[in-house]
């Protein structure tokens, strides 16, 4: 790669981006103008609304068993003490409190009754109406003050000590948090979300302009005719978009810093103790480093998405899900008890959000900070590699419709015998996640084992129906072919070795991340209420058939048609791991998914992966059902020489199985 060519292309891209008014708007105007206005304006608006709510006069209907004038005087007296304003009315006989509230004639309706020789009051209101809800709160304050006054007078009449009876113990709050920590806590809740969204927006618009925008203008084809490689061109685009994103991050940090100083000055003027804004400088500096690496990741992701678009409008549509994902992850600071640790430090987007939150709370953990930095750099590199592969594909560069979502086309317009595109894969994977999260959860919760089978049936139906609609080559896409004896032998050996190694890996992960060991209570409850044959059918057989149809069928078949076999196998395994939505399980299941994809990719037979998947699930079911019997052999398996022997045997089995499968591949190639 020629550095001089990359530098020239980089200069050209930067100039083009800076000429775009939308980019300049998102990069400069939003952080320097919109954020301060939103922050200060929101504070002023909330203060104004609070003042307006207390200054407004509210209509109170008093339905008393005694003289309502007594209660009216109480409301006036106690209301004046709290600076509340009320207007009173006596409801007519037969009038309905509900109808009066619904028609807006009154804000709150107070009724009085007698129970155990004591007055009993009902505060009737409409929680869905702001004025009524506010008036009800004021009425509660008035009656509470009145009750306190009556209690005090009764105690005094009995010649007792009010303080000893009402306050037999005394306590006070003693907050050891400094003003800086309290302000940092508030900033740490808000800033990460704003920072992540602003950086992404700073990267998205130039990414759209340099990819889909150039396609639409016809300048991308001209660039490809120059004596430059695709890698040099995409590198220049990535550096240019990253520069703009980092610039947006710097301006956002400057804006946030100014808001921090403003907040500090406001608190210093309003309060007796001072707030040292300089104490936030280390947090801002470390945040700058982390956000810079995050900006590169956001740039790479934006380019990966926008490259696939054929027009500016399509790129904006494709970027919407990306924006939603980033926004949801950016809100992780608002989730209770979710903190930065060795696990969350490795989750993209979430790690940046939680790190900024911890920094502004003056929690400086060098190890976690380093993990976040390194992980974001690694994710950026992976995204750049993936982006380079996408950019090298001519069907992506020149907008081949086969790479788009075919489901959006009329079935009559779709050519028979084609293969799904990457867009189809992404859509189907998203649908499967929704099935597992929502539909599957409901069925399993209410129906048990039959619900689990319905869930798996949906997972089977979705890819098959999708493939039918787009008129895909079913046999090729789902690898429908009878397995050979060598394929069976190699697959069984490879699975045996992998299964043992997965047990070692699971033990290691459990030791490293003990907090992430979560038991599936729904599945455990199903197994307790069902017979063994039902458990095997619902938890072993059905998932083996249905999940293999989706992953080693539709998804692997799609990826093999677009990428190299190695990349298709790895991506399929990763998707299979993510599908299980558990950190520890995703890693171990991901390893199994890679092996299954490797077998199907070599043998062109999905029946092999179905059989192995069934055996893996069956083993888990039997171990769970015969836990006591299995535990009896654990002392023998815990011996060091047994562990070493099993590990060596597993490695040998895996190598031998892969050797047989590769030998099968070579035979096919020779033929």
Give the CATH number, domain containing residue 74: 3.40.190.10
Residues 67 and 190 in one domain: no
Residue 116 lies in a domain: yes
Which has more pLDDT, 251 or 500? 500
pLDDT digits (tens, 9 = 90+) for 342-355: 778 878 888 888 88
Residues 154 and 183 in one domain: no
pLDDT for 402: 43
Residue 266 pLDDT class (50, 70, 90 cuts): low
pLDDT digits (tens, 9 = 90+) for 196-235: 887 888 888 888 888 877 777 767 666 666 677 767 777 8
**Tokens linked to 63:** 């339905």
The span from the CA of 461 to the CA of 472, in Å, is 15
Comparing 135-139, 309-313, 343-347, 502-506, the range with the smallest average pLDDT is 309-313
Residue 19 lies in a domain: no
Q: What is the mean pLDDT of residues 458-473?
A: 93
For the chain, give the mean pLDDT: 81
Residues 154 and 192 in one domain: no
Which has more pLDDT, 551 or 233? 551
**pLDDT for residue 91 is more than 60:** yes
Residues 271 and 395 in one domain: yes
**pLDDT for residue 465 is more than 90:** yes
Residues 136 and 197 in one domain: no
Residue 539 lies in a domain: yes
pLDDT for 396: 53
Please say which residue of 127, 145, 166 terminates a domain: 166
pLDDT digits (tens, 9 = 90+) for 367-413: 888 888 888 888 888 777 777 766 665 555 555 444 457 777 788 88
Residue 425 lies in a domain: no
Residues 323 and 267 in one domain: yes
Comparing 50-64, 99-113, 121-135, the range with the smallest average pLDDT is 50-64
Q: What is the mean pLDDT of residues 128-146?
A: 91
Residues 280 and 325 in one domain: yes
Comparing 12-21, 214-223, 317-326, the range with the smallest average pLDDT is 214-223
Q: Number of folded domains in the chain?
A: 3
pLDDT for 669: 47
Give me the residue label for tokens 């934006």.
302
pLDDT for 570: 92
Query: Which candidate, 428, 666, 460, places its Cα nearest to that of 559?
Result: 428
Residue 416 pLDDT class (50, 70, 90 cuts): confident
Residue 273 pLDDT class (50, 70, 90 cuts): low
**pLDDT for residue 583 is more than 80:** no
pLDDT for 275: 63
Residues 203 and 351 in one domain: yes
pLDDT for 179: 73
Residue 192 lies in a domain: yes
Helix (H, G, I), strand (E, B) or coil at 271: coil
pLDDT for 489: 93
Query: Which candidate, 408, 406, 525, places its Cα nearest to that of 477?
Result: 406
Residue 62's CB is within 10 A of a number of other CB atoms, namely 22
Please say which residue of 96, 131, 166 terminates a domain: 166
pLDDT for 613: 95
Residue 138 lies in a domain: yes
**pLDDT for residue 648 is more than 70:** yes
**pLDDT for residue 569 is more than 80:** yes
What predicted TM-score, i.e. pTM, was given to this entire model?
0.66
Residues 523 and 661 in one domain: yes
**pLDDT for residue 118 is more than 90:** no
Q: What is the mean pLDDT of residues 240-245?
A: 84
Q: Using the 8-state DSSP alphabet, how is residue 229 labeled? A: -
Comparing 153-162, 276-285, 531-540, the range with the smallest average pLDDT is 276-285
pLDDT for 554: 94
Residue 514 lies in a domain: yes
Residues 6+ apart with CB under 8 A from 305: 207, 315, 318, 319, 322
Residues 619 and 659 in one domain: yes
Q: Are 255 and 31 in contact (CB under 8 A)?
A: yes
Please say which residue of 368, 399, 430 terminates a domain: 399
Helix (H, G, I), strand (E, B) or coil at 557: helix
**pLDDT for residue 317 is more than 80:** no
Residues 129 and 264 in one domain: no
pLDDT for 599: 94
Q: Are 249 and 16 in contact (CB under 8 A)?
A: no
Classify burial at 597, counting beta carbons within 10 Å of its beta carbon; exposed 0-12, middle 13-18, buried 19 or more.
buried
pLDDT for 592: 94
**pLDDT for residue 668 is more than 70:** no
Residue 466 pLDDT class (50, 70, 90 cuts): very high
Residue 330 lies in a domain: yes
pLDDT for 476: 92
Name the region of 196 (left: φ>0; alpha: ψ -120 to 50; beta: rest).
alpha
The span from the CA of 488 to the CA of 252, in Å, is 58
**Tokens linked to 452:** 């689990």
Q: Which residues pair with 121 in a beta bridge?
A: 112
Q: Using the 8-state DSSP alphabet, how is residue 173 labeled? A: -
Which has more pLDDT, 529 or 106? 106
Q: Using the 8-state DSSP alphabet, how is residue 392 labeled? A: T
280: domain range?
179-399
Residues 121 and 203 in one domain: no
| Cα maximum dimension of the chain | 109
């Amino acid at each position: 790669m020629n550095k001089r060519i990359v530098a020239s292309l980089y200069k050209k891209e930067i100039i083009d981006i800076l000429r775009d008014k939308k980019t300049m708007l998102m990069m400069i105007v939003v952080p320097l103008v919109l954020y301060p206005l939103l922050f200060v304006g929101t504070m002023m608006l909330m203060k104004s609304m609070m003042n307006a709510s207390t200054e407004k006069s509210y209509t109170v209907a008093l339905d008393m068993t005694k003289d309502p004038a007594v209660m009216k005087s109480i409301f006036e007296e106690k209301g004046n003490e709290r600076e509340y304003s009320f207007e009173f009315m006596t409801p007519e006989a037969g009038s309905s409190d509900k109808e009066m509230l619904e028609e807006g004639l009154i804000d709150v309706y107070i009724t009085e009754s007698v129970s155990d020789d004591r007055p009993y009051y009902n505060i009737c209101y409409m929680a869905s109406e702001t004025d009524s809800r506010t008036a009800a709160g004021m009425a509660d304050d008035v009656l509470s003050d009145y009750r306190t006054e009556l209690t005090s007078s009764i105690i005094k009449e009995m010649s007792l000590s009010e303080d000893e009876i009402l306050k037999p113990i005394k306590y006070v709050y003693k907050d050891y948090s400094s003003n800086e920590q309290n302000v940092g806590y508030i900033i740490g809740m808000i800033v990460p979300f704003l920072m992540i969204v602003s950086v992404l927006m700073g990267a998205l618009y130039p990414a759209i302009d340099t990819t889909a925008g150039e396609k639409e203008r016809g300048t991308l084809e001209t660039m490809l005719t120059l004596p430059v490689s695709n890698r040099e061109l995409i590198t220049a685009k990535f550096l240019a978009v990253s520069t703009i994103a980092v610039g947006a991050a710097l301006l956002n940090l400057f804006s946030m810093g100014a808001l921090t100083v403003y907040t500090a000055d406001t608190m210093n003027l309003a309060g007796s103790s001072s707030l040292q804004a300089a104490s936030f400088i280390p947090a801002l500096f470390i945040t700058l480093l982390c956000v810079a690496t995050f900006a590169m990741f956001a740039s790479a992701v934006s380019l990966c998405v926008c490259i696939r678009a054929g027009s500016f409008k399509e790129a904006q549509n494709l970027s919407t899900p990306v924006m939603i994902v980033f926004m949801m992850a950016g809100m992780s600071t608002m989730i209770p008890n979710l903190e930065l640790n060795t696990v969350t430090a490795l989750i993209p987007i979430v790690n940046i959000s939680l790190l900024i939150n911890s920094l502004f709370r003056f929690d400086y953990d060098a190890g976690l900070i380093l993990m976040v930095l390194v992980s974001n750099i690694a994710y950026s590199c992976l995204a750049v590699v993936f982006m380079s592969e996408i950019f090298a594909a001519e069907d992506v560069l020149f907008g081949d419709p086969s790479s788009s979502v075919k489901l959006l086309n009329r079935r009559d317009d779709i050519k028979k015998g084609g293969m799904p595109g990457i867009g189809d894969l992404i859509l189907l994977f998203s649908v499967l996640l929704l099935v597992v999260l929502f539909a599957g959860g409901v069925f399993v919760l209410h129906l048990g084992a039959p619900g689990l089978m319905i869930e798996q049936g949906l997972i089977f139906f979705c890819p098959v129906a999708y493939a039918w609609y787009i008129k895909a080559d079913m046999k090729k896409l789902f690898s429908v072919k009878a397995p050979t004896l060598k394929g069976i032998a190699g697959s069984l050996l490879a699975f045996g070795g992998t299964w043992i190694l997965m047990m070692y890996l699971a033990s290691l992960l459990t030791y490293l991340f003990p907090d992430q060991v979560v038991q599936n209570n729904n599945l455990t409850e199903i197994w307790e209420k069902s017979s063994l044959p039902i458990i095997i059918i619902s938890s072993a057989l059905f998932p083996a058939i249905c999940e293999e149809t989706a992953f080693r069928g539709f998804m692997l078949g799609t990826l093999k048609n677009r990428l190299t076999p190695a990349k298709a196998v790895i991506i399929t395994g990763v998707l299979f791991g993510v599908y299980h939505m558990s950190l520890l399980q995703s890693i171990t299941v991901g390893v199994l998914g890679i092996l299954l994809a490797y077998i199907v990719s070599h043998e062109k037979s999905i029946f092999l992966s179905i059989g192995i998947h069934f055996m893996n699930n069956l083993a888990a079911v039997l171990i769970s059902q015969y836990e006591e019997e299995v535990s009896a052999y654990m002392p023998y398996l815990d011996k060091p020489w047994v562990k070493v022997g099993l590990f060596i045997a597993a490695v040998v089995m895996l190598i031998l199985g892969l050797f047989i499968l590769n030998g099968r591949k070579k035979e096919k190639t020779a033929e």
